[in-house]
A and B are shown apart, each in its own frame.
Chain A
Amino acid sequence: MVLNQATLKRDGVQDFVSLRTTALIISAYAIFIIGYFLATPEVTFEAWTGLFSNLAMKGFTLITLVCIMVHTHIGLWQVLTDYVKCAKLRAALGFVLSLMSLAYVAIGLIVLWGV
């Protein structure tokens, strides 16, 4: 048997696990940010940039964006394969959506770089 660990070829179990591990990391981030807004009476520019200039926060944010990319790559693929039966259209839509999620990560990297 050929092991596919060195390739990007996906299988269902991998997708299942990736979808759920990324979900947990995104949850932690979402709860943290909502908690930050709830706990901070007045969010000022200094406090806000202070938060994101912290190296740990930069790492957490970037990891979350990558997780969102992986999570939505699998999740939107599930949705597309259910509803879009034409393979070419599905590939085109998948491409556009993947590009969007890659853009989210790229923009995140640029923003975090500048803070």
Chain B
Amino acid sequence: MSKDGQVTVKKQRPVNLDLTTISMPATAKASIFHRVTGVALFFALTFVIWAWSESLSSAESFEFVKGLFNGFIAKFIAWGTVSVLVYHLIGGIRHMIMDMGHWEELESGNLSAKVSMALGVVFAVLAGVWIWF
């Protein structure tokens, strides 16, 4: 730091943005999944709100939407939306638990990251069973 309080930074540090060589620990994976699911959820809402508004507009359109859910595409969108929502929710709860000062050590942070991802997979499978069977 110079006398006038200005910080001088030498911009000669190596920059590595090659994702295939960056190590992705469980915590980094849990974090990026939380972000991806948040963004995905925002766009999934377009389908959810459309189906909801259609289903409430008349008895005919209700049956039409209900019929759509016999097809693969609507089932798949519904499954994807529920799975992504549940993971985002679990990740969000983990976030708030960490905000309160828990699971901040390397070991506990890694463990809770792994548990939330595992729970996400379990709930995705359960949601699949629920929607298809």
Contact = CB atoms under 8 A, between A and B. Distances in A.
Contacts of B35: 79
Contact of A27 (B38, B42, B46, B89): B89
Nearest to B62: A45
Contact of B53 (A20, A72, A111): A111
Interface in A37-90: 38, 43, 45, 48-49, 52, 68, 72, 75-76, 79
Interface residues of A, number: 26
Contacts of A48: 55-56, 62
* Chain B contact residues: helix, strand, loop or mixed: helix
A20 B94 CA distance: 12
A20 B96 contact: yes
Contact of A30 (B38, B52, B85, B130): B85
B107 interface: no
Contact of B49 (A72, A97, A108, A114): A108
B119 interface: no
A91 interface: no
B56 A52 contact: yes
Nearest to A111: B53
A79 B56 contact: no
A23 interface: yes
A111 B52 contact: yes
Nearest to A53: B56
A13 interface: no
10 contacts: A23-B92, A27-B89, A45-B62, A48-B62, A75-B42, A79-B38, A100-B46, A110-B53, A111-B56, A115-B56
Interface of B: 35, 38-39, 42, 45-46, 49, 52-53, 55-57, 59, 62-63, 66, 82, 85, 89, 92-93, 96, 99, 130
Interface of A: 20, 23, 27, 30, 34, 38, 43, 45, 48-49, 52, 68, 72, 75-76, 79, 97, 100-101, 104, 107-108, 110-111, 114-115
